[in-house]
Amino acid sequence: MRIKLGTKIGLTYLLIIFTVMLVFGYLIMHDIDQSFISERKNVLLGYANIIAERAAPYLPRQDAAYLNYLAEDFGESIGHRVLIFATDGTVLGDSSGLNQGQVLTVPVVASALQGESVSQTNYYPDFGRLLYLAVPVAAGKQIVGAIFISADINDIDRRLAQTRNRLFLAATGSAVVAFLLSLLLARIITVPVARLTRAATKMSAGDYGYQVKGSSRDELGQLAASFNEMSKKIQQEDKVRRQFIADASHELRSPVAALKVLVESLLLKPPESKEETLEFLTDINGQLDRLSKLVNDLLLLSKIEKNESSLKKEPVSIKQLLIEVKENLKPLAAAKQIEITITAGDNILWPVDRDMLYRAVYNLVDNAIKYSSAKSEVLLSSTANEENLTISVKDQGIGIAQEHLAKLFTRFYRVDKARERATGGIGLGLSIVQEIVNLHGGRVSVNSAPGCGTEFVISLPYN
């Protein structure tokens, strides 16, 4: 059987209260008992000392008649049994007359005959609790006997029982009130928890973006706010994921469809000449290159996002890296008679992942060449201070309208889709640049205007 959280909290409070009341009751009852006994003992001790003072002249000569009279008189007066002992243990006075003239061995009396005032409590099934008290009787410096008082203290037990009953009633009443209050307080706690549980269930069922209602400022309110924020982010990530899948599917479909058309054409009508065969193979190879580039870029993005491509930082000569990018893209630039100019200090060494940074700069320069006019220039520069490295790629191309700048780094986003496909672009190059720069803890920005060219700037911190 499942017990609700509120009931668990209520039962916990109930257990705590009963435990506290039990310990408190035991301690307070023990203290009350000792207080009552101590009070009774002090009263009896006063009586015993008075009796001892009166009996002192008569004990040396063992005047049994007077001592028995003294015991009976005080026994009747204080309502307790009084015995007067000689030093040899003989009872010379007994208010009850039961042990008159007998020799008794009583431990507290033996201690009193040694000069101590002693008391102790004893329990007997037939009589209940009795308090024994004995004081020595001295004549000068000599102990001549002892006074013994046996007091019935069952009235103390009855008073304690009454007090115990009152405490039990108080504890029971307090426990009931506390249990009801704890259920009320538990509801205040469990209602937000139930809302969070319901929200988590809805999210697990695919209802991303579900919001938890609640405005409290306590820890549960903060938890609800954090949950709502997480829910929004998951919803946004889900939208991005869905869009990514749709875009990737669309991009993969294009080369696959083109390949299917080319292959079907070959199956339906074999080439009649070597030139026609070469044309078909060239087209197929181009589509395969595009498909391979798309798959590789997608894999790289996936690895970067999962941090599978952990950075391998080492001091890298930035100028040498820029030169390598230029050399590898020289054929592409030469085809459009574009000059790549490098401006960078010879002594700039920066801790980066060389392969990653090379890929980022390569993508930017590749884009700059593709979107630059023939016989223009691409400027590749780098500067550094103690804290930051800056790499700039600036072209003299067609430029980008302001409304497109904020979306440039979005996956598969293309300003001019027809032109992108003509140049072999798939809309992932700038996304890869941004992910690589982010992995280095840096940032990438863009400045552009139609007809004024475009400049991309990478900024990387030293650490």
pLDDT in tens, 5-25: 667 776 777 777 778 777 877
DSSP type of residue 415: S
How many other C-beta atoms lie within 10 A of the C-beta of residue 230? 11
Instruction: Flag whether the pTM goes above 0.75.
Output: no
Q: Which CATH class is domain 310-461?
A: alpha beta
Q: What percent of the chain has pLDDT over 90?
A: 32
Give one DSSP letter per residue of 170-210, joined into a string.
Answer: HHHHHHHHHHHHHHHHHHHHHHHHHHHHHHHHHHHTT-TT-
SS (H, E, C) 74-114: HHHHHCCEEEEEECCCEEEEECCCCCCCCECCCHHHHHHCC
Mean pLDDT of 178-199: 75
- Is 423 a residue whose pLDDT tops 70? no
Residue range 5-159 forms a domain whose CATH class is alpha beta
- What is the band of 442 on the pLDDT scale with cuts at 50, 70, 90? very high
Q: What is the pLDDT at residue 421?
A: 47
Judge whether 5-159 and 219-303 match in fold.
no
Give me the chain's average pLDDT, please: 83
Residue 419: its pLDDT value, please? 45
Q: Given pLDDT bands bounded at 50, 70 and 90, which one contains residue 246? A: low
Domains of the chain: which residue ranges?
5-159, 219-303, 310-461
Residue 422 predicted with pLDDT over 50: no
* pLDDT band (50, 70, 90) for residue 49: very high
Contact 394, 378 (CB under 8 A): yes
Rounded Cα distance, 16 and 21, in Å: 8
Average pLDDT over residues 274-278: 81
Residues 88-97 have pLDDT tens digits of 999 999 999 8
Fold designation for 219-303 = Helix Hairpins (1.10.287)
- Helix or strand or coil: residue 117? coil
pLDDT of residue 65: 92
C-alpha to C-alpha distance for 411 and 414, rounded to whole angstroms:
9
What is the model's pLDDT at position 214?
65
